[in-house]
Amino acid sequence: MKKKVLFIVCICSLISLSIGCSDDDGWKKVAFQDFILDKTCQWTEFEKQKIYRIDSQTDLLNYIECEDNKIPQIDFEKYTLLMVSFDLPNPGYSITKKLTRNQNNYLFEIRYKSSGTTQPAEVILTHVAVLIEKIEATSSIELSISKQ
């Protein structure tokens, strides 16, 4: 009898543990499109490791300089631009991006991984920018940058 009770307690514990550790915590992936500047434009300097949310062409002018003022045109009625800059120790890294949301909260995760080649120590300023469907002005966006 003791074994049956112990077995039932173990099964119930496993079931409650699996429910409590479920991956479905309300966070859903958000589709995005990489935003890459062409060769006639460059990013201006802005604070590193901080997420910037751009919702207008006027705001975009604060972060981009282009030859002949040919700033890329974005339909900001439909899209929001998220961008960040950070330093990498050398050019031999690959970058992965993931954007998730839970109601009005967004998490933008950037992971970088060494490609295995040994490069001389040289700090590389890296810019990451993505276009997403327009988000509400009250939405919060958290940034996470880490090495894999």
pLDDT tens for residues 43-87? 999 999 999 999 999 999 999 999 988 889 999 999 999 999 999
Assigned domain for 9 exists? no
Assigned domain for 87 exists? yes
Q: Which domain holds residue 76?
A: 25-147
Assigned domain for 5 exists? no
Tell me the mean pLDDT in the region 111-125. Answer: 77
Assigned domain for 135 exists? yes
Assigned domain for 76 exists? yes
98 touches 129 (CB < 8 A): no
pLDDT attached to residue 89: 78
- State how beta strands 52-54 and 140-147 pair: unpaired
* Predicted TM-score (pTM) of this structure: 0.78
Assigned domain for 3 exists? no
Using DSSP, state whether 12 is helix, strand or coil: helix
Number of domains making up the chain? 1
Assigned domain for 94 exists? yes
Q: What is the pLDDT of residues 83-109, one digit of tens each?
A: 999 998 777 788 999 999 999 999 999
Tell me the mean pLDDT in the region 9-36. Answer: 65
Q: Diameter of the chain by CA atoms?
A: 85
Assigned domain for 126 exists? yes
pLDDT attached to residue 9: 40
